A and B are shown apart, each in its own frame.
Chain A
Amino acid sequence: MPTHRPEPRRRSDVDFSASVVGLASAKVHDGSVTLIQAIGLRKVFRKPDKAPGIRGSLRHLVQRRYSEHVAVDSIDLSIAEGEAVAYVGPNGAGKSTTVKMLSGILVPTAGQVHVDGLVPHRARVENARRVGVVFGQRTQLWWDLPVRESLELLRDMHGIDRSRYQERLERFDSVLGLGDLLPVTARKLSLGQRMRADLAAALLHEPRVVYLDEPTIGLDISVKDRVRSFVRQLVSEGTTVMLTTHDLSDIEEICQRIIIIDEGRLVYDGNLQAVKDTHVRERTMSFELEDSLLGADQIAARLPGARVHLESNGRELAVTFDRMTLGARQVLSAVLAEVEIVDMHIDEPAIESVVRKVYAGQLQAEHGGATNSEPMR
């Protein structure tokens, strides 16, 4: 029997997650102002069916055939003021299309959308005064002008008065290091510099809602960190943020809520911690042992259903278990019943594995497949 208990190195407490779920879901349903609301949102693109080669092109001139591509298929969304929501899914899932409908760029094929009481594609100009949009792959800046002139033009478009404008610039300088970029012509900026300037351009008018469409794409670690901490700050000030990304660290650092879509359909909408609980049930506890062990069969016998792996040196033990059938405490006592340990840690499930499951189509099976292509004349 062990004589001393090691101080476990734990990244999070097992029971903590439940309270977080409770808090966050209360925030959504406690009657706070719903800022973004979509009901049955749908977007169908029509694309020409052309046979390959010149023959195909010529035939298309005479006999036009199109197939419909359902990019977004009846999505319902309700986002409260001040929420930070990650909107994720594989390439082509319909993330950007959704964001473009919410921001008034695209007209939905069907369904309703309201943002801050407006229908974005009908009240484009008014909507643009209240929302900010950052597209990681496009720039808001005027390509041939210095950043300063782009910002001044946006100032005039939004009717921001000069003293407020100065305050905003100082703010952007302190968090994004904007000052150095002001005299530089937009097309001469590096990607990281451009993204910093673009964030300033999108947020100059202090929008209530900010859509970030892959804001960290292609950026190096230090710029990513800067962008993330800036967005975290926005969220803490009460700005509603909807973030589309493939970078899972973005999600974990910024958002409390995650919406997963695949093939245009909503697959999951809920608390980030809850999605981990539901879909990432496996966790691993790793132990460093005081003495080397010859075999782990006895430990395995105490933990039915868990996978026990002993490194060949006999000093490192890993137990992988389903968190719903076994608790960390049970695993710990089972191990302690057999060996003395020096150190231990628990690997928390990363959101990455959830999204990977969606990408691999594992979650989709639970919700039924979506038919994406219907031929049409």
Chain B
Amino acid sequence: MKVAAALEARPLPADTRMRHLRAYRSMARTGLKSLLAYQTSFLFGMLASTFGALSMLYLWRSVLSAGPRHGFDWPQMKAYLLVAFVAGSLVSSYTDYRMANRIKQGDVAIDLVRPVDYQWSRFAESLGVAAYEAGTAVVVALGAAALLGGVPLPDPDTFGLFVVSALLVFPLRFGIVYMSGLLVFWTQNYVGLQAARIALITLFSGALVPLVFLPEWIQVASAYLPFAGMASTPALLYSGSLGGGAAATAVLVQAVWSAGLWLLARGMWSAACRKLTIHGG
């Protein structure tokens, strides 16, 4: 009996990895399916942000008709804003909202007795959802591009970096969104947190206004904060406004923050578990 228990406690690593891989793949699929159950509300959300993006585009078109500003001409700005729009649509509709509700209502107790890691599980679910979010956002962006007379192709010199940068948007956004969801362990309420988180990201990521248009201190701060990597960096790389050493540094900052946020979130989770109180049975 004892020997059997010891063997169970340490299964072969390869076996465990396979099981985990299958589990997280299924969870990614589940995330997507759960989103599809609320497809209408998702699409309405997408419609709202599309209108927001369109009005920004028209505003910038009229501003830039007088000539380029801070190195942005109209076609570059179009590309910048549309890439930022797609980036901003990731991990925006499911992860934090669902997490916050489950924490608030105590259903997180169930998540704690599942044989999978909580953070990787949310990551997998968010990835499944992000596939759908990205797909929809790209369609919308292409539609908008057609409406506005086309968008230049990405700068070939920085295209490789752009791809890496675009892929890093997901772990960055996940990190911030996941941690804002975890804060519900302390606040027991999410409405205010979500609003604050959205405001923070929108300003510091340069999603609406490129960072060069903002005051000096914001530019300096955002060079070191994780937010620029969530919209500005890939958008600048696409539009060719960022090159050379600065481009490589910006992508490196993204990568470092992706790992850093992951570890920070780990620490936050273990603090949250010690803090956890389950109300109502």
A interface, CB within 8 angstroms of B: 33, 45, 96, 100, 103-107, 116-118, 121, 124-126, 128-131, 133, 135-140, 142, 144-145, 149, 152-153, 156-159, 205, 213-214
A136 → chain B, closest Cβ, in Å?
8
8 Å CB contacts to A: which residues of B238-281? 273-274, 276-278, 280-281
Partner of A138 from B6, B109, B115 at Cβ < 8 Å: B109
A359 → chain B, closest Cβ, in Å?
18
Q: B281 to A103, Cβ gap below 8 A?
A: no
| A128-B114, A138-B110, A159-B22 known; A117+B30 contact, CB < 8 A | no
Residue of A nearest to B281 (CB): A137
Q: With a CB–CB cut-off of 8 A, which chain B residues contact A129?
A: 8, 115
Q: B110 to A139, Cβ gap below 8 A?
A: yes
Q: A145 to B113, Cβ gap below 8 A?
A: no
4 more A-B residue pairs beyond the given contacts A145-B33, A152-B26, A153-B26, with a C-beta to C-beta distance below 8 A: A128-B115, A135-B109, A135-B110, A157-B27
Q: A149 to B30, Cβ gap below 8 A?
A: yes
Bits for B112-145, please: 1 = Cβ < 8 Å to A, else 0. 1111110000000000000000000000000000
Residue of A nearest to B26 (CB): A156
A16 → chain B, closest Cβ, in Å?
33
Q: With a CB–CB cut-off of 8 A, which chain A residues contact B276?
A: 105-107
Q: B37 to A128, Cβ gap below 8 A?
A: no
A238 → chain B, closest Cβ, in Å?
12
Q: A144 to B26, Cβ gap below 8 A?
A: no
Q: B9 to A156, Cβ gap below 8 A?
A: no
8 contacts between A and B (CB under 8 A): A103-B112, A121-B273, A128-B114, A129-B115, A133-B113, A135-B110, A157-B26, A157-B116
Q: With a CB–CB cut-off of 8 A, which chain B residues contact A100?
A: 109, 278
B235 → chain A, closest Cβ, in Å?
34
Residue of B nearest to A46 (CB): B277
Cβ-based interface call for B5 (8 A): yes
Q: A125 to B117, Cβ gap below 8 A?
A: yes
Q: How large is the interface on B (under 10, 10 to 19, 20 to 34, 35 or more residues)?
A: 35 or more
A97 → chain B, closest Cβ, in Å?
8
CA gap between A116 and B25 in the complex, in Å = 29
| A107-B276, A135-B281, A137-B280 known; A144+B112 contact, CB < 8 A | no
Q: A117 to B9, Cβ gap below 8 A?
A: yes
Cβ-based interface call for B1 (8 A): yes
Q: A157 to B23, Cβ gap below 8 A?
A: yes
CA gap between A205 and B19 in the complex, in Å = 14
Residue of B nearest to A185 (CB): B37
B1 → chain A, closest Cβ, in Å?
6
Q: With a CB–CB cut-off of 8 A, which chain B residues contact A144?
A: 33-34, 37-38
| A107-B276, A124-B112, A131-B113 known; A145+B34 contact, CB < 8 A | yes
Residue of A nearest to B8 (CB): A130
CA gap between A142 and B33 in the complex, in Å = 10
B142 → chain A, closest Cβ, in Å?
29
Q: With a CB–CB cut-off of 8 A, which chain A residues contact B9?
A: 117-118, 126
B119 → chain A, closest Cβ, in Å?
12
| A96-B281, A157-B114 known; A142+B30 contact, CB < 8 A | yes
Cβ-based interface call for B107 (8 A): yes
Bits for B19-44, please: 1 = Cβ < 8 Å to A, else 0. 10011011100100110011000000
Q: With a CB–CB cut-off of 8 A, which chain A residues contact B38?
A: 144
CA gap between A133 and B277 in the complex, in Å = 18
Q: With a CB–CB cut-off of 8 A, which chain A residues contact B107?
A: 138
Q: With a CB–CB cut-off of 8 A, which chain A residues contact B110?
A: 133, 135, 138-140
Q: With a CB–CB cut-off of 8 A, which chain A residues contact B15?
A: 159
CA gap between A231 and B26 in the complex, in Å = 30
Q: With a CB–CB cut-off of 8 A, which chain A residues contact B281?
A: 96, 135-138, 213-214
Cβ-based interface call for B75 (8 A): no
A174 → chain B, closest Cβ, in Å?
26
Q: A158 to B115, Cβ gap below 8 A?
A: yes
Q: With a CB–CB cut-off of 8 A, which chain B residues contact A126?
A: 9, 115
Q: A145 to B114, Cβ gap below 8 A?
A: no
B27 → chain A, closest Cβ, in Å?
7
Cβ-based interface call for B154 (8 A): no
Partner of A145 from B1, B5, B30, B116 at Cβ < 8 Å: B30
CA gap between A320 and B60 in the complex, in Å = 92
CA gap between A145 and B109 in the complex, in Å = 20
Q: With a CB–CB cut-off of 8 A, which chain A residues contact B18?
A: 159
CA gap between A131 and B116 in the complex, in Å = 13
Residue of B nearest to A155 (CB): B26
A17 → chain B, closest Cβ, in Å?
32
4 tightest Cβ-Cβ pairs between the two chains A and B: A159-B19, A144-B37, A156-B26, A128-B115
Residue of B nearest to A152 (CB): B26
B268 → chain A, closest Cβ, in Å?
15
A330 → chain B, closest Cβ, in Å?
47
A187 → chain B, closest Cβ, in Å?
9
CA gap between A159 and B19 in the complex, in Å = 5
A89 → chain B, closest Cβ, in Å?
13
CA gap between A133 and B115 in the complex, in Å = 12
Q: A107 to B274, Cβ gap below 8 A?
A: yes
Residue of B nearest to A141 (CB): B110
Residue of B nearest to A123 (CB): B9
Q: With a CB–CB cut-off of 8 A, which chain A residues contact B278?
A: 96, 100, 105-106
Q: B113 to A103, Cβ gap below 8 A?
A: yes
CA gap between A149 and B116 in the complex, in Å = 17
| A137-B281, A144-B33 known; A156+B109 contact, CB < 8 A | no
